[in-house]
Every structure is written in C-alpha cells, then in structure tokens.
Chain A
Amino acid sequence: MPVATEATTEEKLEIGSPPPPVWPEGGGDDESWQSEPAFPVTKGRLGLWLLLGGIVMLFGGFSSAYIVLRGLPSWQNVAIPSVLWISTGVLLASSVTIEMTRKAMLKGLHGPAKAWIGITGILGLAFLGGQVVAWMQMVQAGVYLPSTLHSSFLYILTGTHGIHLIGGLGALLFVLTQTFRNRYTATDHEPISLCATYWHFMDGLWVYLFLMFLLA
C-alpha cells in the first residue's frame, strides 16, 4: 500500500491539480455533529409516519383518478347511501374513545384503558358493519360495482379504506392483549399512542373520502 508523503503531494501539484484541501481536525464536515441532536422521534413513530405517507400516496393516486374521471361525459353520480352518515358519526366517536384510552393510560389507569380500547374496537367494527350495510343499500338500489364510475369508486374506496381499518383493529387487538399482560405503564405505552395516531388518520381519511363522494 503506497503511503502518502510530502513528496507525492508535491508531485500531484506538478500535474496541475489543486492542492488537496486540508480538512479541519476531527473530520471533513463542519463539526455540526457535535451539536446534532438525537432524532426527535422514536423508530416506531417515524416508521408509522412513513407508512402513513405511503397510504396518503395510495389514496392520492385514487383521488387523482377520481378527479380525472369525474370530468368525463360518462360520469354519472349515484345516491350516497344514507347509512354512511351514521357510520361517519360512529368513526368520529371512536376517535374520541381512543383518545380516552391514551388519557387513561397516561394516568396509569389500566382498567379504564382496557375498557376504552374495547369500546374503540366495537365502534370500529360497527363502522365496518355500516359500510357493509351501505353496500347492501346500494345493491338494493340496483347500483353495482360496474354501474357507473362513481359507484365503482364508492365500492372500491370504501373497501380499501375498510381493509386499512381492519389493520387498525388488528393493532387495537394487539395493544389490548398487551394491556391485559400489564406491558404498559403511564410513561411507557408507545404502541397505544401509535395506534391512536393510526386510528385518527383512518378517521380523517374517511372524512376526506366521504366529502369527495358527496361533492362529486
């Protein structure tokens, strides 16, 4: 292995290259690392945010398709099933209850926390039930998946959102069992707050989709 000496540096100068820069002691950068704080959020939260970013892009893709197709002459609106108003209310209520879970856990109250997780889960299931009823209402009205572009989006987007909500229910089930095993304390219950973030996001996503269907 050749060893850099003063002589080799001199030789490099002769062939016209600029002298190699002299780096400050301690490294080549501006030493900002010494004051660089640790990353402000935990691994779990960052991972969740990235996942939500991906979900935003997924529904962003659907939304842009919706907007483009809405401008076509073949677009025909269908009636929005009335039950969706009720299921929207149910989902909004579940956002409140998951927040109650977090509040209870922050105070270290395991009993109420378990109850609120359970209630959130039941509300989530009720919402999914409402979506199924909505599909049935549409079928009764003779509006099927291929009927119009609007009805296609209604079925597919409620379905895709529902699948993501089922993922949230799985996460709720996980934190519920962990709570029964006393895994969480008032200061250490990150999975519950991650669950809450995801749940609120699903709630907001639904409100967005519902408004999009209504405004069509």
Chain B
Amino acid sequence: MSTTVEHTHDHPQLGFVRKYIFSTDHKIIGIQYIVTALFMAVVGGLLSMMMRLQLAWPTPSVRPGILEPLWSMLSSIMPEGIQSGVMLPEFYLSLVTMHGTIMVFFLFTAILTGGFGNFLIPLQIGARDMAFPFLNALSYWIFLLSCIVILSALFVTGGAPLGGWTAYAPLSALPEAGPGQAEGMTLWIVAIALFSVSGLMGGLNYVTTLLTMRTKGMSMMRLPLTQWSLLITAILGVLAFPVLLAAGILLMFDRMGGTSFFVPGGLMMGQQVLEHTGGHPLLWQHLFWFFGHPEVYIVVLPAMGIASDILSTFCRKPIFGYRVMVYSMSSIAFLSFIVWGHHMFLSGMSPVMGSLFTLTTLLIAIPSAVKTFNWLGTMWGARIRFSSPMLFALAFVSMFVSGGLSGIFLGTSASDIAMHDTYFVVGHFHLVMAVAPLFAGFAGLYFWFPKMFGRMMNETLAKAHFWISFVGAYVVFHSMHSLGVMGHLRRIYDPLQYEFLQPVQGMNIVVTIAAFTLGAAQLIFLFNFFTSVWWGKKASINPWNATTLEWELPSPPGHGNFGPELPIVQRWPFDYSVPGAEKDYIMQTEAPKGAPSS
C-alpha cells in the first residue's frame, strides 16, 4: 500500500441480491461462511446424537421404553439405516464418517478461516477488502457446492461412506467394499476435492491481503494475534490441501479407472481375486496424514489467535509475550508437517521411524506450553471481566490443555500401542481439536457479533449456553478417555457384544445423556444468535472497549469499511491499562502524546 489517502470508490446502490447474496464484500462472504458452517454443524451434531443414542442402548432389549417413540420416528425417517427400531452397523459407520467429515472440514475449517478470516482480515489490518474479491466470492460458492455434494452422499443408493473421515484405503478404493463405498464414497472425494480448491483460493487471498494491503503503520509486529494466526493458517492451507487433492485424484482413479495406487495385488473379495496389479494401501495413510496433521493446526491456530486477543481484551492487560506467541505459532505450523507418522504407529512402521515421529510430536509440546503459559501470564493479576466471549476463551485454554495432555500419551509410540483405536483417541482429539476450537469459535462469535450485525447477543442466554456446554463437554469427553483406557474400541457400534465392556456400559449412558444436554445447549446459542440478529439490543461502536481498528467503525461497517481515508496505525493492539492513560485502553490509531497525528 503506497498511499494512505485513497478515495472511496463510487459504490452504486446494489440490489438485495448483489448486496447480500452474490456479494464480493468480504464481510458478507465471512457471514455467509459462518451461517453455512452453522447449518453444517447442526447436521453434524444431529449425526453424533444418533451415534450416542446407539452406543448407550445398542439393542432394543436394553432400551428404556421412553425412547421407543424416538426410535420409531427415526425408523420412519431413515428406513434404509434403521429397520424396525434397529440401527444397521453400516449405517452407524456412515454416521461416523459423515460426522467427522462435516465437523472437521465443513464446520471448523470453514467457520474459523472462512468465516472469521474473511470478516476480520481487512477490518483489522485497515484494508477496504480482500486482495482478490472475486476469487474470494468464488471460494465461498465452491465451498457451498462442496457442502451440497457431501450432504447428498447421505441420500444416494447405499448411503454415505463407511471408512471414517480418513477414508483409509483399500476400503475407500473399492466401490464394492460396502454399501456406502460406491456412490457415497465418490461424492465424498468430489466434495473434499472441491473443498480443497475453495480452501486454496481463500488461502491465496488471505496471505496476499495480509502481506500487501496493511494500512500505514500496521507493521507485522503490530498485527493482532488473530491476524498472525490467520496468516500462518493460510500458508498451512496452501501447502497442505494440494497434497490431499493429489491423494484424492489417485484414489478416484483407483475406483473408476482400474489403477492400483492404493490397492494391494492379489486382493480377494467375495471369493474372487481383484484385477488390481498391486499398489500400497499405506501410501494413502501417508498422503492423507501429511495433509491431516497440518489440518489439525489449520483448525487450532485461528482458535489460538482469537482466544489470545479476547483474553487480552477482557483481562484489560497486554498479551503476555506477543513476539513469542508469533514465534510459537510459526514453529507449531512448521512442526505440523513432520509429525504425520504419529497417526500410523501401528501400521508396521519401523521402531526407529516411530521414535523419530515421537520426538517431533513431543517437540510440539514446547511451543504449545509456551502459549499456554503466556495466556496464564496475561491473566495473572488481571481484573478479569467475565463476559461471555471471555468465558469461552478461557474454556478454550482449559480444553486445549486437557486435550493436549492426553495427546502426549498418544504421541509417544510406546503408549500409543495400548491406546490406539480406543475411545482415548476419540476423547483426546475431540477435546483438543473439536471442543477447544468450537469454544474459541463461540468466543469469536459472541465477541464480533455486535460488529457483524450491529446488535448485541443476550448475555444471560450466552452464560447459560456457556455453563451447560462447558460442563457437558467435559463430562462427555473426559469420560471417553476413561472408556478408552478400559479398552472401549473406537468404531464399534454395539459395546455390549464385548464381555469386558459390559461392566462399563453405564458410562456410555452417562456420556450419551451429557451429549444430549450438550446438544440441547447449542439450541440456546442458535436461538440467541438468530433472534439477536433482528431483535438484539443495539450495539455501540466499541462495546468491549477493545483497541483494534474494526472497533472504530460503525456496527456493522459499511461497504469499503473505512471512510475516505484509511486509518493510520500508531501502536500495537494491546495497549490496555497503560499507566497514566486517561482510559484503560488506547485505540491503535491514537497518536502518542506530543506527536503529530500522521
């Protein structure tokens, strides 16, 4: 950006469709991403509720009578999956696949980078829009298309795929391997390929915008941490998604072109030797996890950035160790590319490689711990304002630490041998990369909602939502860790078939009841969100007394964001409780005393 004085373009009055639907305005695109992702979250959440229903009461004989109407209703809605009140095992597996896929890609990746990234990047760096607005709009529409494709997998013959969100070969490479592995699996691959392309377009845009379009004075070391996290995430996305795309293309040819990349030679199916000449099923795992582990940080890093900024705002203190936060996020991102083998300790990997992957995996604990202590340092001695965004940001830190600690056992190859493919894994990754980012996402939504819609969300409902969700999430996912230690396998659909699991079935029931409660709490959020859009209390320009650029704009900001002149940034975003200052926060544009204003 060579000049700060830039005339606003003449914006002709746009009709409703151009303004709110086929818009190239980053704020509208961000909100479109958020609303679409919330819809996908509802679908993904309902799928998990059905899984929990099955796990708590696997057979009709142990089912409480009160649930009979529910089961007969489900049977009539999904006659192919639930027949006369009994869920088919393959239907349960398709629930597993679709829940994981929808939540990882279409909720977390979409809402944190697509939603908050689009909405916040230009606003917080002092730009009028993204670098390539049309590409940005295109990325949303391709994302929406991928949502439609993945949802349609639920309705085709045979239903959704069965192989989990990781789509391990050779199951995923053979259309005849199961009912959902034919059309459903094909749609899965198409949806993920579309999502990769959409993510690449978004990533290009974010990096270019953040590097070239910062306003005068907004040096890299004056960026809010949310922006740093989005920059690093976008770079991860640009480097990781194409690898998934490559794997998806090869998989598609295995399925449709008769190639043998992931299908071993001489594989028997139904008494017949398949014609495939002989490939390498583990190759899929390598390619998938080379993408898959960075994907974890594509989800977690923006959550860290958002939580950092919110913690600082509500502690009324500067973030502790700003530069170190940036360095630790960068090193987490780098390390995420060399740890993928820890998902494959039990694939016959040599112990030497296992030790190497253990080492790189445990190294991630260092920057993660640095960040955690910096969050604690930020809170130390602060007069914390426990507003709803802050509660959710605190919960993010709590969940991230709890889930991260159980990760140490899984990242160590020796202990992973015992824990692999048990509910310990399920509990771990849900805490660290599902619930933690979810809570950071809620923190962000409650925090920026006033800027998005010009209205406040109801604080009482928000607190109710928080407490039920917080307790519910810990009951669900902490208990899963215990179930895993007791040997509860990961993808079984009827735990009662295993004698050693019968004594702990009560825990499954507790988890299910807590999960239903957790799910119900999200209805409070959805109600609060959608009613507040229209009927919430009008928001002021800066309801949280925050310092970053977007809080100087009207709520919601107009097209082009800033007035005739772009703001000039004078300081970093964490000038809270500066000694001697009139207020306990100083906006980023406020000039130092005695200095000329530009």
Contacts and interface: CB of A to CB of B under 8 A. Distances in A.
B280 A28 contact: no
A42 interface: yes
B243 to A, nearest CB: 4
Contacts, number: 194
Contacts of B217: 33
B200 A54 contact: yes
Contacts of A73: 278
Nearest to A35: B219
A178 to B, nearest CB: 16
B60 interface: no
B219 A4 contact: no
Contacts of B211: 39, 46
A25 B381 CA distance: 24
A2 interface: yes
Nearest to B220: A36
Contact of B212 (A46, A152, A160): A46
Contacts of B482: none
B571 A28 contact: yes
A39 B210 CA distance: 10
Contacts of A15: 381
A80 to B, nearest CB: 18
A54 B241 contact: yes
Contacts of B265: 74
A27 B587 CA distance: 10
Contacts of A1: 545, 583-584
A62 B283 CA distance: 11
Given A25-B595, A29-B222, A4 B242 contact: no
Interface stretch (A86-94, A143-151, A188-196, A201-209): A143-151
A53 B2 CA distance: 26
Interface in B208-227: 208, 211-213, 217-222
B279 interface: yes
A215 interface: no
A38 to B, nearest CB: 6
A29 B277 contact: no
B582 interface: yes
A156 B252 CA distance: 11
Contacts of B250: 62, 65, 156
A17 B380 contact: yes
Contacts of A57: 238-240, 242-243, 246
A211 interface: no
B279 A149 contact: yes
A153 B58 CA distance: 46
Contacts of A30: 221
B258 interface: yes
A20 B579 contact: yes
Contacts of B279: 69, 72, 74, 149
A41 B293 CA distance: 31
Contact of B259 (A6, A29, A50, A146): A146
B381 A2 contact: no
B444 interface: no
Given A21-B318, A61-B287, A65-B287, A43 B260 contact: no
A27 B241 CA distance: 37
Interface in A145-181: 145-149, 152, 156, 160
Nearest to B253: A156
The B interface, classified by DSSP as helix, strand, loop or mixed, is loop
B529 interface: no
A36 B212 CA distance: 12
B491 to A, nearest CB: 27
Contact of A149 (B219, B277, B574, B592): B277
A3 B582 contact: yes
Contact of B277 (A3, A65, A74): A74
A49 to B, nearest CB: 9
B581 interface: yes
A3 to B, nearest CB: 6
Nearest to A15: B381
A12 B316 CA distance: 12
B552 to A, nearest CB: 16
Interface in B292-317: 316-317
Nearest to B239: A57
A159 to B, nearest CB: 9
A50 B287 contact: no
Nearest to A152: B259
B212 A43 contact: yes
A113 to B, nearest CB: 25
Interface string B231-262: 00000001111111111011001000111110
A58 interface: yes
B55 interface: no
A129 interface: no
Contacts of B165: none
B348 to A, nearest CB: 14
B584 A3 contact: yes
A148 B277 CA distance: 7
Among B253, B570, B594: residue with most chain A CB under 10 A:
B253
A51 interface: yes
Contacts of A9: 577, 579
Interface string B559-578: 00000000001111011011
Nearest to B277: A74
Interface string B374-394: 000000111100000000000
B339 interface: no
A12 B315 CA distance: 12
A38 B216 CA distance: 9
Contact of B283 (A32, A69, A152): A69
Nearest to B276: A146
B39 to A, nearest CB: 28
B243 A61 contact: yes
B381 A16 contact: yes
Contact of B204 (A36, A51, A147): A51
A89 to B, nearest CB: 28
A160 B278 CA distance: 23
A194 to B, nearest CB: 13
Contacts of B261: 65, 69, 149, 152
Nearest to A61: B246
Given A1-B584, A33-B219, 9 more contacts: A4-B316, A6-B579, A21-B318, A26-B592, A33-B217, A47-B208, A51-B204, A61-B244, A156-B253
Interface of A: 1-4, 6, 8-9, 12, 15-23, 25-30, 32-33, 36, 38-39, 41-43, 46-47, 50-51, 53-55, 57-62, 64-65, 68-69, 72-74, 76, 145-149, 152, 156, 160
Interface of B: 1-2, 131-132, 200, 203-205, 207-208, 211-213, 217-222, 238-247, 249-250, 253, 257-261, 265, 275-280, 283, 286-287, 290, 316-318, 322, 380-383, 545, 569-572, 574-575, 577-584, 592-595
10 contacts: A3-B582, A20-B577, A23-B318, A42-B212, A43-B208, A43-B212, A51-B204, A54-B241, A69-B279, A149-B259
Going nearest first, the 4 A-B pairs with the smallest beta carbon separation are A17-B381, A61-B246, A33-B219, A74-B278
